[in-house]
């Protein structure tokens, strides 16, 4: 890999650098902070679009690579690179971030500076984790996300924010610390086999990792487990999901959008990028386990969603179900199912991000998220109703919208490999329609009985601006998915092919 | 002995004289009183500059001292820590009405003891350095001589210190009895040829030396003094106590390990140290969770951190020692930042330094709180801080030496520790402010110390290259 400019660094580090500069400003200058946050995230989005233009979809390996020496005696280097899999997720991240700033323009009134700084640092961590092609650097970016998210939940969150924030931190670290030992072990193994120190992804990929019979005696199984635990907690794979409802419900709207939209994708991305590519034998042996857990998550998540009285909780549990589909797709391991999982990652980011945003809209007006407090909103908030309905239909997989494409590809791709699991998973789609449509029914169509709901203002222009791009992509992916499928196709082919 | 030999200990000589000068100036020139910390601080900087100017000839003073890159690394470490402590001590002493020259003189002399200890090449000289360090600290711990907790701290440290010194000395005597030499060089080169390898006398001697050093490091099971002494000592002294003697003792331990391992059969040595490391981190972290007083919490956190650092010595090798040295640098910045801020937020010296005193301060006093939060995340080992780099390096050395299980125990301990470090941040930023004004203001020097430490923590976390390079050079000088 030769060095090709600083584009990827610019995408990654711009938000973080602006965040550090903002630390030096007065906390009274909230207009400045809001605009700087939006500006920095828009710059990142623009640069990500440039990367998309300069990206060659036919080339399956890392492009626009950057390599800088960092700690040469240990073998750590600063390496960034982008392939189809990471490009698509970076585009999602950089798209969601400015929308978060717009949607929270008025809802975050206190400690604006801290909020903007935390969000921007979080963006640097997320984009960096997608782009890092050195395992040490990946770990640094991965953990960099932790502190801002802790603050976002703990300072701007709901009533049980402290519990949720601490739980989030402990769950995340519980997974990632063992991954750190795994990363160190891989570099030692590389040194033993190649004679030099390296943490570079492309180097580690060439390793031959011994695969014994048992579990404790098999280095590859242990390494697989160390990485998989970190990612499975992030996804989250059943039964490691218990942090998710707390974190999603207690986080402020912007934090929920980023959590559901991007952070969960880091889990599935990590499974693909590291577990699938580095430990193929262990991957094969673990497939039945993960497919079973995925099916459980799909059905369990849907059933629990159905039972929720709180809208935000309902959306949170629906994430468990939707992420189950993605896990099913990547473990089925065919090109179709993996491509479906890729597109479903985007879909879930768009539709769940949109749902959290829309729940935030109504919460700002009424300060309640209980479904029973609403009813008949269609009469007073027509624009809001249309937006919510579109998102619901996208989320439950109506053909012509994005959700259909992803779920269809996953199911088609998985059926040949695991027919029973696929059939059970398909029932999750039906359950998804049940809980989402009953939510719409209860919130928008039932009679407008509660007097407090009779004069609710419709969405403001900021809220519409924040939502509109998401709607555009929901339709775009639904009508012409090839635009996005072609980005990741070559990289997925390479991954599946070996 | 010649003129060149004298040149090698110029920094120490300067500090000894500066200490005397500070005491005399305080006694006879009343005008200088408000400038005492400035005076002491500038002599520390001068000593630091001298250390980098004088050459590193290796063995000097008839083999008593070893002036090598390792010695220079430790000296720099001690002097930077001393400078930060002296800077934060000025306003603290003003506030508590204890601004006396002896305070600074004793700090300087204690540092000379630590520096001597760490560069000594002879077991008895190690002991002399240790005593100079300890005796100065006994007085400093009890410096608030009207406060019961401070006197208690001084008394406890005196009893435990005297006890551990005796143990160390007894170990030195046994090693001498077994091998007939006190020189580390001779122990490393000629002793392995003697028929003493693995002899009970030698093993007992090494175990006692280890125990004596473990007292200074507050390693389990020699840790019981730490919490009370940390809590009762004047806060700048606690900051000093938590980093300087520990750094010196760890380096002595590395120097001892370099000769002890071939003499004492590696497996035995490794097992013993690994048990101590695991016990220290686990006990330190678990007990820290239960603390409500920040100084006590940091005492237990210190026990745990010395457990982590010991991992680098268990996995003895050039990587391990380099990791330990980076760990020391990291630990200094984190602890001094923490104690500087804790002192500024306190409700008074005799009062407990409660976690609840921090409630809501984050939004009220951004610089100090930010520094404390950065120090806490660094102590927890979360990137991009130097605390993470340090932990990564020592755990890496464990993995490279086939001790994967030790690295796993280490990271699981980090997970436990996150709980109480993050709780400090929770108090700072997520608790509502109680309805009272802060008791003390923020002197600019405390602000500067805290900000410098926080900046150092983050910068060295992102660009650890040069401190790692210096640590590697230093570690290499242990190879004979």
Mind listing the pLDDT tens digit for each residue in A104-153? Answer: 888 888 888 889 999 999 999 999 999 999 999 999 999 999 999 999 99
Does A189 reside within a domain?
A: no
Among A76-80, B33-37, B192-196, B258-262, name the one with the lowest average pLDDT.
B192-196
Q: How far is CA A29 from the centre of its chain?
A: 31
- Residue A63 inside a domain? The answer is yes
d(CA A479, CA A464): 22
Q: Do A373 and A485 reside in the same domain of the chain?
A: yes
Q: Does A211 touch chain B (CB under 8 A)?
A: no
pLDDT at B135 over 60: yes
| Chain B interface with A: residues with Cβ < 8 Å | 363, 366, 370, 377, 382-384, 388, 392-393, 395-396, 399-400, 404, 407-408, 411-412, 414-415, 418-419, 422, 425-426, 429-430, 464-465, 468-469, 472
Shared-domain flag, residues A492 and A362: yes
Q: Can you give the residue ranges of every domain in chain B? A: 265-480
Tell me, yes or no, whether A437 lies in a domain: yes
DSSP-assigned letter for residue A453:
G
A residues 105-164 closer than 8 Å to B (CB): 111, 136, 139-140, 143-144, 146-147, 150-151, 154-155, 161-162
User: What number of other Cβ atoms are within 10 A of residue A109's Cβ?
Assistant: 9
State how far Cα B169 lies from the chain centre: 21
How high does pLDDT run on average in chain B?
88
Question: Parallel, antiparallel, or unpaired for β A63-71 and A76-82?
Answer: antiparallel
CB atoms near residue B479 (< 10 Å): 9
CB contact under 8 A, B415 and A147: no
Looking at the fold, whether A158 and A296 belong to one and the same domain comes out as: no
Comparing CA positions, the residue from A195, A342, A188 lying closest to residue B396 is A188
pLDDT value, residue A1:
43
Closest CA in chain A for residue B423: A166
**Same domain for A346 and A455:** yes
HEC per residue, chain B: CCHHHHHHCHHHHHHHHHHHHHHHHHHHCHHHHHHHHHHHHHHHHHHHHHHHHCCCCEEECCCCEEECHHHHHHHHHHHHHHHHHHHHHHHHHHHHCCCCHHHHHHHHHHHHHHHHHHHECEHHHHHHHHHHHHHHHHHHHCCCCCCHHHHHHHHHHHHHHHHHHHHHHHHHHHHHHHHCCCEHHHHHHCHHHCCCCCCHHHHHHHHHHHHHHHHHHCCCCCCCCHHHHHHHCCHHHHHHHHHHHHHHHHHHHHHHHHHHHHHHCHHHHHHHHHHHHHHHHHHHHHHHHCCCEHHHHHHHHHHHHHHHHHHHHHCCCHHHHHHHHHHHHHHHHHHHHHHHHHHHHCCCCCCCCEHHHHCCHHHHCHHHHHHHHHHHHHHCCCCCCHHHHHHHHHHHHHHHCCCHHHHHHHHHHHHHHHHHHHHHHHHHHHCCCCCCCCCCCCCHHHHHHHHHHHHHHHHHHHCCHHHHHHHHHHHHCCCC
Confidence bin at B187 (pLDDT 50/70/90): confident
Q: Are residues A254 and A327 in the same domain?
A: no
Is the whole-model pTM more than 0.90?
A: yes
Beta strands per DSSP E along A11-129: 63-71, 76-82
- The reply to whether residue B399 touches residue A177, judged by beta carbons under 8 angstroms, is no
Short-list A279, A187, A284, A266, CA closest to A226:
A279
d(CA A394, CA A467): 14
Task: Report CA B172 to chain centroid distance, whole Å.
Answer: 23
Q: What does the mean pLDDT of chain A come to?
A: 90
Please, are residues A490 and A57 in contact by the beta-carbon 8 Å criterion?
A: yes
Which residues, in sequence order, are CB contacts of B234 under 8 Å at separation 6+? B92, B96, B98, B140, B141, B143, B144, B150, B349
Of A108, A107, A57, nearest to A82 (Cα)? A57
Whether B480 has a pLDDT exceeding 70, the answer reads no
For B413, the token pair is 């301990």
CA–CA min distance B286, chain A (Å): 15
Q: How many residues does chain A have?
A: 498
Q: Residue with structure tokens 């992803």?
A: A406
What is the pLDDT at residue A297? 93
Q: What are phi and psi of B204, to 5 degrees?
A: -60, -40
- Could you tell me how many CB contacts below 8 A there are between chain A and chain B? 77
Owner of token pair 């010395």? B306
Answer whether the bond into residue B221 is a cis peptide, omega within 30°.
yes
Q: Is-contact A266 A129, C-beta < 8 A?
A: yes
Residue of B nearest to A191 (CA): B400
Three-state DSSP at A431 gives helix
Q: Are residues A382 and A259 in the same domain?
A: no
Question: Looking at beta carbons, which residues of chain B come within 8 Å of A136?
Answer: 392
Instruction: Please list, in sequence order, all residues whose beta carbon lies within 8 angstroms of the beta carbon of residue A157, skipping any fewer than 6 positions away.
Output: A164, A165, A250, A251, A252, A255
Q: Which residues of A touch B472 (CB under 8 A)?
A: 73
Cβ–Cβ contacts within 10 Å for residue A27, how many? 14
Query: Quick one: A258 and A314 in the same domain?
Result: no
Tens of pLDDT along B436-474? 666 677 788 888 999 999 999 999 999 998 899 999 988
Q: Are residues A265 and A314 in the same domain?
A: no
Q: Cα separation of A299 and A260, whole Å?
A: 19
- Reference A442, options A355, A374, A349, A356; nearest CA is A374
The verdict on A259 and A117 lying in the same domain is: yes
Distance CA B468, CA B258 (A): 20
Selected for mutation to probe chain B from A74, A121, A143 (highest B CB count within 10 Å) is: A74
Which residues are CB-contacts of B162 (< 8 A; sequence separation ≥ 6)? none
Q: Report d(CA A356, CA A386) in Å as an integer.
A: 15
The pLDDT score that the predictor gives to residue A213 is: 80
* Structural tokens at position A434: 């049940």
B184 with B260: CB under 8 angstroms? no
Expressed as residue numbers, the domain containing A324 is 281-498
Whether residues B430 and A155 touch (CB distance < 8 A) is answered with: yes
Residue B167: closest CA among B213, B219, B121, B136: B213
Q: Tell me how far apart the 2 most distant CA atoms of chain A are, in Å.
A: 75
pLDDT tens digits, one per residue of B283-333: 999 999 999 889 999 999 999 999 999 998 887 778 888 999 999 999 999
φ, ψ of residue B121 in degrees (nearest 5): -115, 20
Report the domain count for chain A: 2
Residue A299 sits in the same domain as residue A405 = yes
Burial of A263: CB neighbours in 10 Å, binned 0-12, 13-18, 19+: buried
Residues with Cβ within 8 Å of residue A201, at least 6 apart in sequence? A79, A133, A134, A135, A138, A273
Q: Is the pLDDT of residue A266 over 90?
A: yes
Are residues A317 and A361 located together in one domain of the fold?
Answer: yes
Residues 6+ apart with CB under 8 A from A53: none
Q: At residue A2, does pLDDT exceed 50?
A: no
Q: Do A177 and B414 touch (CB under 8 A)?
A: yes
Distant-in-sequence, close-in-space partners of B403: CB < 8 Å, separation ≥ 6: B270, B274, B311, B314, B315
On whether any CB of chain B is under 8 Å from the CB of A17, the answer is: no
Query: Does A104 map to a domain?
Result: yes
Over residues A149-168, the mean pLDDT reads 89
Cα(A424)–Cα(A341) distance, rounded to whole angstroms? 17
Q: Which residues pair with residue B122 across a beta bridge?
A: B183
Q: Is the pLDDT of residue A239 over 70?
A: yes
Radius of gyration of chain A (CA): 22
pLDDT in tens, B368-417: 899 999 999 999 999 889 999 999 999 999 998 888 899 999 999 999 99
For range A47-68, the mean pLDDT: 89
Say whether both A326 and A259 belong to one domain. Answer: no
Average pLDDT over residues A464-485: 91
Element (H, E) at A257: helix A253-258
Whether residues A173 and B395 touch (CB distance < 8 A) is answered with no
């Amino acid at each position: 890999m030769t060095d090709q400019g600083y584009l990827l660094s610019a995408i990654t580090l711009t938000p973080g650098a602006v965040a550090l500069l903002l630390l030096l400003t007065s906390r009274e200058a909230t207009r400045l902070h809001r605009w700087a946050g939006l500006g920095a995230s828009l710059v990142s989005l623009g640069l990500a679009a440039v990367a998309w233009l300069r990206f060659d979809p036919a080339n399956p390996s890392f492009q626009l690579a950057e390599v800088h020496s960092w700690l040469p005696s240990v073998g750590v280097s600063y390496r960034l690179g982008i392939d189809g899999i990471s490009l698509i997720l970076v585009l999602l991240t950089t798209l969601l971030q400015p929308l978060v700033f717009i949607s929270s323009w008025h809802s975050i009134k206190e400690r604006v500076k801290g909020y903007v700084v935390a969000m921007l640092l979080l963006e640097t961590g997320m984009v960096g984790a997608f782009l890092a092609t050195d395992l040490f650097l990946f770990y640094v970016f991965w953990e960099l996300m932790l502190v801002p998210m802790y603050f976002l939940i703990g300072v701007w969150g709901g009533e049980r924010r402290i519990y949720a924030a601490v739980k989030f931190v402990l769950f995340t670290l519980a997974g990632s610390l063992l991954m750190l030992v795994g990363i160190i072990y891989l570099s030692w193994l590389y040194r033993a086999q190649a004679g030099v120190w390296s943490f570079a992804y492309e180097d580690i990929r060439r390793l031959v990792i011994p695969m014994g019979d048992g579990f404790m005696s098999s280095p590859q199984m242990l390494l697989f487990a160390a990485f998989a635990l970190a990612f499975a907690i992030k996804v989250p794979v059943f039964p490691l999901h218990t942090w998710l409802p707390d974190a999603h419900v207690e986080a402020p709207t912007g934090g929920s959008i980023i959590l559901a939209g991007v952070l969960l994708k880091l889990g599935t991305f990590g499974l693909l990028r590291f577990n699938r590519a580095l430990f193929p034998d262990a991957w094969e042996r673990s497939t039945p386990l993960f497919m079973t857990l995925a099916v459980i998550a799909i059905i369990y998540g849907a059933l629990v969603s159905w039972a929720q009285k709180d809208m935000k909780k309902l959306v949170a549990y629906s994430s468990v179900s939707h992420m189950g589909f993605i896990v099913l797709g990547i473990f089925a391991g065919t090109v179709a199912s993996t491509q479906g999982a890729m597109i479903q990652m985007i879909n879930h980011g768009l539709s769940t991000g949109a749902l959290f945003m829309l729940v935030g809209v109504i919460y700002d007006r009424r300060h309640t998220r209980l479904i029973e407090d609403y009813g008949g909103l269609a009469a007073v908030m027509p624009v809001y109703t249309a937006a919510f309905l579109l998102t619901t239909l996208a989320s439950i997989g109506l053909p012509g919208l994005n959700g259909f494409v992803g779920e269809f590809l996953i199911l088609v791709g998985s059926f040949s490999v695991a027919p029973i699991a696929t059939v059970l998973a398909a029932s999750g789609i039906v359950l998804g329609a049940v809980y989402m449509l009953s939510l719409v029914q209860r919130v928008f169509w039932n009679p407008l009985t509660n007097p407090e709901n009779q004069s609710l203002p419709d969405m403001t222009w900021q809220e519409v601006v924040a939502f509109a791009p998401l709607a555009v992509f929901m339709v775009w992916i639904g009508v012409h998915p090839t635009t996005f499928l072609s980005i990741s196709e070559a990289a997925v082919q390479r991954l599946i092919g070996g | 002995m010649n003129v060149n030999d004298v040149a090698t200990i110029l920094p120490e000589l300067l500090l000894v004289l500066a200490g005397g000068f500070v005491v005399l100036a305080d006694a006879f020139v009343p005008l200088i009183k408000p400038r005492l910390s400035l005076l002491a601080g500038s002599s520390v900087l001068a000593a630091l500059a001298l250390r980098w100017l004088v050459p590193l000839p290796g063995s000097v003073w008839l083999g008593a001292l070893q002036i090598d890159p390792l010695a220079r690394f430790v000296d720099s470490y001690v002097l930077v820590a001393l400078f930060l402590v002296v800077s934060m001590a000025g306003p603290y002493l003003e506030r508590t009405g204890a601004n006396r020259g002896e305070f600074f003189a004793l700090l300087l002399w204690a540092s000379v003891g630590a520096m001597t200890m760490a560069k000594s090449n002879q077991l008895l000289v190690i002991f002399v350095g240790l005593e100079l360090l300890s005796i100065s600290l006994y007085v400093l711990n009890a410096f608030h001589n009207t406060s019961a907790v401070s006197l208690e701290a001084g008394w406890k440290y005196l009893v435990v210190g005297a006890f551990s010194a005796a143990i160390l000395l007894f170990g030195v005597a046994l090693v001498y009895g077994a091998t007939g030499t006190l020189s580390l060089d001779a122990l490393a080169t000629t002793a392995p040829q003697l028929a003493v390898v693995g002899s009970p006398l030698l093993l007992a001697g090494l175990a006692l030396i280890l125990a004596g050093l473990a007292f200074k490091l507050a390693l389990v099971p020699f840790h019981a003094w730490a919490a009370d002494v940390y809590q009762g000592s004047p806060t700048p002294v606690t900051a000093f106590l938590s980093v300087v003697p520990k750094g010196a003792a760890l380096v002595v331990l590395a120097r001892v390990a370099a000769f002890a391992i071939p003499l004492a059969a590696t497996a035995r040595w490794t097992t013993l140290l690994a048990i101590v490391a695991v016990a220290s981190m686990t006990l330190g972290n678990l007990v820290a969770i239960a603390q409500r007083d920040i100084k006590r919490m940091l005492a237990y956190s210190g026990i745990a951190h010395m457990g982590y650092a010991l991992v680098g010595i268990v996995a003895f090798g050039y990587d391990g020692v380099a990791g330990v040295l980076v760990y020391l640098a990291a630990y200094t910045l984190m602890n001094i930042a923490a104690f500087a801020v804790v002192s500024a937020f306190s409700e008074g010296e005799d009062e407990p330094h409660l976690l609840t005193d921090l409630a809501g301060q984050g939004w009220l006093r951004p610089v100090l709180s930010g520094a404390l939060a950065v120090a806490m995340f660094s102590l927890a080992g979360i990137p991009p801080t130097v605390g993470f780099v340090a932990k990564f390096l020592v755990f890496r050395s464990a993995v490279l030496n086939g001790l994967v299980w030790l690295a796993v125990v280490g990271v699981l301990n980090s997970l436990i520790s996150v709980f109480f470090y993050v709780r400090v941040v929770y108090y700072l930023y997520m608790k509502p402010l109680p309805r009272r004004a802060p008791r003390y203001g923020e002197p600019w020097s405390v602000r500067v110390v805290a900000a410098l430490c926080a900046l150092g923590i983050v910068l060295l976390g992102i660009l650890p290259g040069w401190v790692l390079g210096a640590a590697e050079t230093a570690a290499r000088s242990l190879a004979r």
